[in-house]
Structure 1
Amino acid sequence: MLCLGLETSCDETAVALCEDGRPVAEKLASQIDVHALFGGVVPELASREHLRRMGPLLRTLFADSGLTLDEVDAVAVARGPGLLGSLLIGLATAKGLALGAGKPLIGVDHLHAHLMAATIGREVPYPALGLLVSGGHTQIMLLRSALDIAVLGRTVDDAAGEAFDKAAKSLNLPYPGGIYIDVLGRDIEADHTLFPRPFLDNHHLDFSFSGLKTAVATYVAAHGELRLPVMPSPGGAIDPSAWPMPLRRVCAALNFAIADTLRVKMERALDSRDTGPVRALLAAGGVAANSRIRGMLTELAARRGLPLFLPRPELCADNATMIAATGCLLGRAGLTHGLDCDAVPRGRRVPWDYREGPPLGRPSVDRRPGPQ
């Protein structure tokens, strides 16, 4: 089954083709330079950029892959959660392509797709325990199968990625700040007492990172020398040795506080009777690219004797390959949508409202690019 995937949930415009879940080609246009001027994503600008870039990306995708829309078996699109204006651009494009070419439409839960990014090209033993960490979401999920997922715990306010980005902003680091916090805090022994590990004095699996965000901002305000007088230009390689050591220690302490909070909750989930025995661990989302968090998960999986599945770093951030790959899973199961499929903004649960029908696709053809 050949699936076209479209991703416009936030500030990345991306289109991709997957053959039975295997990546064939992807084209992506980042908006980081646009939003860096404002220190965060401006929703109206994001939707306008999606509208401007979608057409050229699609034309380039088909031209470079040598494939056509006629060869596509289904059109998959991120329907939410995300920025409503951005989602509507992708959804309208997908509906137009599906209607014009007579192809089935598949609306994809953006969070489901993130989890599936960790499974691309791999056989995952289920049930598995999943950790989703991004700028807008922090969740622990039980995956009974690739299409049967239950949320065990979620953030009650801010997500882990929000804490990273707001801490970076308080230090006057460029947007997006999470990568700076990660790189500058590497290879430094973290002060485990500098910042609290939030929301652990309980027995459940929910998260709260608003207090940690406040603790970092308060600490930086009390130590004004930590805040850079001039924001460095974004982009390019980050050389940690060129940065002040006090600032790097703050970054290391924050990395530890977030990673260890995630570890405690994951351990709690593994030991819970409600979770039951699991056969694998996986993690996904933009913050899953953080080196401290990846190291924590690697150590946890080894200690528990479980295989660990992590996406390649480029598949941690928003991308269309994960949308197309998840579309293949859903299409092979005969799950599609009508043209009345709606966008679901952040803060609302994406419904499981698929239409059931015969499996989509045709005999598999390996369309992956050959050796370069």
Structure 2
Amino acid sequence: MIVLGIETTCDETSVGIINFLQQKRKNSNLPEIQELALVVLSQDFHSIYGGVVPELASRAHLENISQVLKSAIERAKIEISDIDFVSVANEPGLPGSLIVGVSFAKGLSQALNKKIVPVNHVEAHIISPLIENDLKFPFASLIVSGGHTSLYLVEGVGDYKLLLKTRDDSVGEVFDKVAKFFRFGYPGGPIIDSISKDAESFFLFPEIQVEDFSFSGIKTFSVRTPLNWFGPFPLPEFFSSFQKKVIDDIIGKTIRVIKNVGVDVVAVSGGVARNSYFRQRVKDFSEIKFIFPSPKYCIDNGSMIAFLGGLKILFGKVDKFDFDFDIRPTGVLKSKGGIDWESGA
């Protein structure tokens, strides 16, 4: 079964093609897969604005999506008619960006006479570490990106329980905003990570006094500290201290919560999963194992959309195959105990 996935929720135009094989994995009992192609086109021009401009993002998706699809088909070395299903992220995300992706996916599936599966972008991140890793259920999934900072208990495909979420900014958002304050471009995470390499961490940040994730206080402290500094400001050391405080808070709260639910594996996804300090900090943990995907799966990508769409088909999680669905910019992800609202891109 070959599934094509389309991702346009924010500022990455991406198409992934996944072939689901007959063989089963040992631990999860999920099917073995073969990634035939993944093409991701990031919109770098947003850097000069210090963040994503929604109108420009949707226009860029419109201009690029056909070529991205063509490139993916060529890399997969298949005919487009070989596609069995089309999967597309229709929630949550930027409205204009979602419209482009969903409209294109519907047109493609109609032209090919193939069935289409809409999927939730957050759920795709939750499941994405399973693209490369055969993890035994249950495990914890930590999403750390520019739009989301959430911790879920994953007990199966479509079976999630929200354990922690941010009260205010997402972790990627606070990296971007702090970098922008110091007049650096977007995205800010890789810039801060690079500048802080090998620098000492001697700045003392205020403690976060809430049980959930929360980064607004750290953001405020970060933009006020330089204003009261006399003499040359030690930027590498400040960025190193900032990064350490944010990541250590995420790690500490994650470990505290998952110990109470009885799992010892945390699968990390989202753009901040590429952070070098994060990866090094948890590298030698013994009681809790942190799993990081390859960098190409940390950012928004079409393969995670194709992967989730295929799993929903195989596990009977699709109520009906039709075109009667729309975009849901503030779409919901259903989990045990109720509905968890997740907005952003």
TM over 0.5: yes
User: Distance in 2 between the 1:279 and 1:247 partners?
Assistant: 36
Distance 1:93 1:321 in 2: 17
1:194 aligns with 2:178: no
Q: Once the two structures are superposed, what CA deviation does each residue of 1:174-204 show, in whole Å capped at 9, x if it has no partner?
A: 221110111211223322x522242xx34x4
The one-letter code sitting in structure 1 at the alignment partner of 2:220 is T
Amino acid at match of 2:314: R
Contact 2:139 2:263 in 1 (8 A): yes
CA distance in 1, matches of 2:125, 2:227: 35
Q: Deviations over 1:179-230 (max 9, x none)?
A: 0111211223322x522242xx34x4x2111111111011123238668xxx
Q: CA 1:22 to 1:309, structure 2 compared with 1: closer, same or farther past 3 Å?
A: farther
SS at match of 1:119: helix
1:249 is matched with 237
Shift in CA distance, 61/117, structure 1 to aligned 2, threshold 3 Å: same
Alpha-carbon spacing, 1:89–1:338, altered in 2? closer, same or farther (3 Å): same
Structure-2 separation of matches of 1:67 and 1:133: 34
2:306 aligns with one of 297, 314, 324: 324
**What is the match of residue 74 of structure 1?**
85
| Distance apart, 1:287 and its partner CA | 0.6
> The residue matched to 1:335 in structure 2 has which SS?
coil
Q: Summarize deviations over 1:147-199 as a string: whole Å, max 9, x none.
A: 311111111110111111111111111221110111211223322x522242x
Aligned match of 1:341 = 325
Partner of residue 303, structure 1:
286
Query: How far off its partner does 1:49 sit?
Result: 0.4
SS at match of 1:23: strand
Distance 1:182 1:224, change over 3 A: farther
The 3-state SS of whatever aligns with 1:140 is strand
> Please, which of 123, 130, 140 is the counterpart of residue 151 of structure 2?
140
What SS does the aligned partner of 1:329 have? helix
Gaps of at least 5 residues in structure 1 are: 228-245, 353-372
- The aligned residue for residue 250 of structure 2 is 262
CA distance, structure 2, for counterparts of residue 157 and residue 293 of structure 1: 21
The one-letter amino acid paired with 1:3 is: V
Identity of aligned residues (%): 36
Q: Decide whether aligned partners of structure 1 residues 2 and 168 sit closer, same or farther in structure 2, where only a CA change above 3 A counts.
A: same
How many pairs were matched up? 321
Secondary structure of residue in 2 paired with 1:77: strand
Query: Which residue number corresponds to residue 355 of structure 1?
Result: none
Task: Report the CA distance between 1:298 and its aligned residue.
Answer: 2.8
Structure 1 residue 108: Cα displacement: 1.5
Matches within 5 A, 1:69-148: 69-148=80-159
Using a 3 Å threshold, how does the CA distance of structure 1 residues 226 and 49 change in structure 2: closer, same or farther?
A: farther
Structure 2 gap segments, 5+ residues each: 21-32, 336-345
Q: CA RMSD, aligned part only? A: 1.9
- The one-character-per-residue Cα deviations of 1:311-358 (angstroms, maximum 9, x if unpaired) are 111211111111112122112123334212221214x42458xxxxxx
1:53-68 pair list within 5 angstroms: 53-68=64-79
Q: 1:167, 1:217 within 8 Å by CA — same for their partners in 2?
A: yes
Q: Which amino acid in the other structure matches residue 227 of structure 2?
A: A
> CA 1:124 to 1:83, structure 2 compared with 1: closer, same or farther past 3 Å?
same
Query: Distance in 2 between the 1:11 and 1:31 partners?
Result: 6
Question: Which one has the bigger strand percentage?
Answer: 2
**In structure 1, C-alpha distance between the alignment counterparts of 2:152 and 2:186, rounded to whole Å:** 29
Contact 1:126 1:278 in 2 (8 A): no
* CA distance in structure 2 between the partners assigned to 1:268 and 1:146 by the alignment: 24
Q: Residue 225 and residue 178 in structure 1: after superposition, are their counterparts in 2 closer, same or farther (change >3 A)?
A: farther
TM-superposed deviation, 1:294: 1.8
Structure 1 residues 307 and 207: CA distance shift in structure 2, 3 A: closer
Deviation by residue 1:127-152 (Cα, 9 ceiling, x = unmatched): 10121100111001101123311111
1:207 aligns with 2:192: no
How many angstroms does 1:67 deviate by? 1.2
